[in-house]
Chains A and B, each alone.
Chain A
């Protein structure tokens, strides 16, 4: 109960942040050349000034900026993100359609980065300053410096064009219209390369943090006690060290949630995945600012949600938190 209370308070504290973001973005959009109506008129192939005036009145664009902001925020509270003239649907439903692939991609690459980073970090810390450590740390540095979109392109060349093991893009094969297990496997095959691509840079960060926190925990007194009791190394690492070394890793998930969402814009564009990131890109290209603003809103909500989950997880891993607060 205490944990929920603590996390709930954290959640409430993020509401002002959310409002600040929305007001900032709204004001920013006032600087944008043209508005929704201009975009719609261009879409329709031009129109006369009278129609434009009517449309502006309909969308409330003739009001003063504070009034528009008030309207906008009031609509957001009711989850009404406006209408996308490009997609001809409410923004909320466009975003909802595009959300599942992105969530799937983020979950897959986060799990990959987290577990691979954990294993590599432990291996590196166990053989500190010997060749496995040097090799893993060097790989980590290179992964960190690799632009994800470039890695994605090279992965397509190797695994799709030359080896033909995996599909080069898309979310599933539309032609097959498969169901059940076949469809799941099909989607999974399409997700392998994007998840690896998006996860690469996080893998580099996770393995570095894991290595550092393992080294720190390995030197603590209780580890020496466990060894003195005669426990074998594997048990010492798994039962005593890992749980404590995991804390910084979990913190990092929350900190990296936003970066990962940003990275999915690029990765989804490389692999033409119909997700939120690709939607963000499309709405920039097509100047659909209504949709773009909606995506900003949903991304902020997602980051806050991930941090909330991390808080809960953190309290489970570290009993001192729920006891102390």
Chain B
């Protein structure tokens, strides 16, 4: 309850929550407000926003409704961002937990692998993964998850290092608990909160990574992704700049909302760190 109260004391956190709920609302209502395929032709191409009441945000180069693409794009952004984050956190927690708990050569090997992933620019690695495995919605999501796990792994490892010799763990050990029991049942629940808060950073970056990939036309072309729309808008940038401008604002607001909520949670959970 205190945490909740502390969360709602910060205006930035409230703004973030409202924005995030708005985007989730868009994603949920997309199929209902715009039941037609957002990638189907709807009218004359390149109608400016607010000039035709049927297309509030105008139409793109080939006459598709931009508002419909924005609403359906919210689904794609949250879906890819969310799923990629879950993948990254799962891999990161697994690797970080083993490295931190066992130490020794397990730690050395796992941290070498983590370091290798961190030495490679993650967007370049993303390009390689997409070049090799193709760019369907599923492969892009998994690829974004795969390039995002090292930071959560390091965070989990640090938590495990500080927790593994605490009294409650030693008590469990004297009771004869197995390693896996100790890792999953005792240490993980205590190590998880900061990792969960960090998930907001992973999600923000994941959404940006996918949109950059889509902008370069290397993501799934068959879904209404905001990045796809910006890539399309680039062809008519000089005069009809709104085609690229509108989805960009959508991405900005989404990433901003996710970051603000994450920061608010962080401040609410670690009140002593506030103001840093």
Binding site for B on A (CB under 8 A): 14, 16-18, 20-21, 24-25, 28-29, 31-32, 128, 141-142, 144-150, 153-154, 156-157, 161, 212, 215, 258-263, 265-266, 269, 280-281, 284-285, 287, 289, 292, 295-296, 299-300, 303-304
Contact = CB atoms under 8 A, between A and B. Distances in A.
B265 interface: no
A142 B218 CA distance: 26
Contacts of B218: 284-285
Interface of B: 12, 112-113, 115-116, 118-133, 204, 208, 211-212, 215-216, 218, 227, 230, 233-234, 237-238, 241, 244-245, 248, 251-253, 255-256, 259-260, 275-276
B208 A147 contact: yes
A142 B115 CA distance: 30
B124 to A, nearest CB: 5
A21 B260 CA distance: 35
Contacts, number: 143
B121 A299 contact: yes
A269 B231 CA distance: 11
Contacts of B208: 147
A237 B82 CA distance: 43
Nearest to A29: B132
A14 B118 CA distance: 12
A292 B127 contact: yes
Contact of A262 (B122, B132, B253, B256): B122
The 6 residue pairs across chains A and B that have the minimum distance between CB atoms? A262-B123, A150-B248, A262-B121, A145-B255, A145-B256, A261-B121
A100 to B, nearest CB: 18
Interface of B is mostly: helix
A299 B128 CA distance: 13
Contacts of B127: 265, 280-281, 284, 292
Contacts of B12: 141
A50 B162 CA distance: 62
A154 B245 contact: yes
Contact of A20 (B113, B126, B253): B113
B115 A17 contact: yes
A14 B215 CA distance: 34
A215 B274 CA distance: 12
